[in-house]
Amino acid sequence: MAHCPVLLAETMELLDPVPGGVYVDGNLGMGGHSREILRRSAPDGRLIGFDLDADAIAMARRNLTEFGGRVEYIQDNFANSPKRLADLGIDAIDGLLLDLGLSSYQLDSSARGFSFQGKEPLDMRMDKGQDLTAAQILNSASSEELADIFYFYGEERQARRIASFVVQERRKQKIITTDQLVALVARAVPRKFQPRKIHVATKVFQALRIAVNKEMDNLLRILKLGPQMLKNEAKFCVISFHSLEDRLIKRAFQSNPSLSVVTRKPVIAGEDELRLNPRARSAKLRMAKKEVL
């Protein structure tokens, strides 16, 4: 399966993996960034890869099999990485990378409702072992709760109107598939207010995914705890894909006295990468370095 890790060259330039270093990839995915970290940190660099998605862990194992015991695979949220590293006897690391985007597999092939193309169950769980799904939120939350989710997590200006349409629709039938939700959002948002550059349902899908997986809570936690895991002068790189994430990252880096911000402005994909991987268009990379104490 083809996979294009976003901002790969730019990330490696900033992270600068070295032989013998210990690195954490908080969103292992299919292992694209991890492969390059392992290659550059050869022969004895270590990588600890986290992912909530069991399918992603399995694919990364296959894709990184050549690196053998240099890789540790952990099915858990990156927010729990401080404890998991302590369990491994690791006191500090040389670099931490978070790629907050979905993998091409999750969007195109996971059949979990991350994409609004086609017809899939409204699941959206990264960890299939958890109970809460997007369909459960849509069919049980109040109109006010739904509006807050769409507005605060999706920055959707038509949040209240869409929420009202959801409540009306679920009185007739449960909303359980992606095509149902796409059609509902298209009806709810007046044509004059529909975005031109993105799909009309993009922000609603984003908001539901964030709510299901508690993405903002986990991001805030790792932004607070992550710097404590870093050695002096170690790097903390984060790739985000929407403005809500990017603002949190920017503020967290700037407000932490133990960090020195290296990227005053976010690094974005160049024209060559965008031609090969249009999904990189919204990617923003920020990096901070642990101050010498």
- Given a cut of 60, whether residue 96 has pLDDT beyond it is yes
Q: Which one, of 291, 269, 292, 264, lies nearest residue 280 by Cα?
A: 269
- Given a cut of 60, whether residue 2 has pLDDT beyond it is no
3-state secondary structure at position 99: strand
pLDDT the model gives residue 75:
98
Please give the CATH number for the structural domain made up of 110-213. Answer: 1.10.150.170
- Given a cut of 60, whether residue 59 has pLDDT beyond it is yes
The stretch 142-153 carries a mean pLDDT of 99
The stretch 209-221 carries a mean pLDDT of 97
CATH fit for domain 8-106+215-290, picks 3.40.50.150, 3.30.365.10, 3.40.50.720, 3.60.10.10:
3.40.50.150
Percent with pLDDT over 70 in the chain: 98
Percent with pLDDT over 90 in the chain: 91
The stretch 143-159 carries a mean pLDDT of 98
pLDDT the model gives residue 3:
62
Q: Domain map of the chain by residue range?
A: 8-106+215-290, 110-213
3-state secondary structure at position 284: strand
- Given a cut of 70, whether residue 28 has pLDDT beyond it is yes
Q: How far is CA 34 from the centre of its chain?
A: 15
Work out the angle at residue 173's Cα, subtended by the Cα atoms of residues 171 and 174, and round it to the nearest 5 degrees: 100
CA distances from 55 to 30, 58, 75, 109, 259 (A): 9, 5, 10, 11, 34
- Given a cut of 90, whether residue 252 has pLDDT beyond it is yes
Cα 50 to Cα 71: distance, rounded to the nearest angstrom: 11
pLDDT (tens digit, 9 = 90+) per residue, 166-188? 999 999 999 999 999 999 999 99
Q: Which one, of 33, 6, 14, lies nearest residue 237 by Cα?
A: 14
Q: Enumerate residues 6+ apart whose C-beta is below 8 A from 44.
A: 19, 20, 70
Residue 110: pLDDT band (50, 70, 90) is low
- Given a cut of 50, whether residue 112 has pLDDT beyond it is yes
Let me know: does 283 contact 6? Beta carbons within 8 Å.
Answer: yes
- Given a cut of 60, whether residue 34 has pLDDT beyond it is yes
Comparing 111 with 164, which gets the higher pLDDT? 164
Q: Which one, of 55, 62, 60, 63, lies nearest residue 129 by Cα?
A: 55
Q: Which one, of 111, 118, 135, 107, lies nearest residue 183 by Cα?
A: 118
The stretch 97-114 carries a mean pLDDT of 84
- Given a cut of 80, whether residue 214 has pLDDT beyond it is yes
The stretch 45-50 carries a mean pLDDT of 99
pLDDT the model gives residue 111:
84
Residue 1: pLDDT band (50, 70, 90) is very low
Q: Which one, of 131, 117, 5, lies nearest residue 56 by Cα?
A: 5
Let me know: does 65 contact 129? Beta carbons within 8 Å.
Answer: no
Q: DSSP of 33-94, one letter per residue?
A: HHHHHHHHTTTT-EEEEE-S-HHHHHHHHHHTGGGGGGEEEE-S-GGGHHHHHHHTT---EE
3-state secondary structure at position 181: helix
Mean pLDDT score of the chain: 95
CA atoms within 13 A on the CB side of 124: 26
Cα 223 to Cα 88: distance, rounded to the nearest angstrom: 21
- Predicted TM-score (pTM) above 0.75: yes
Joined tokens for residue 274: 């965008």
Let me know: does 285 contact 12? Beta carbons within 8 Å.
Answer: no
- Given a cut of 90, whether residue 106 has pLDDT beyond it is no
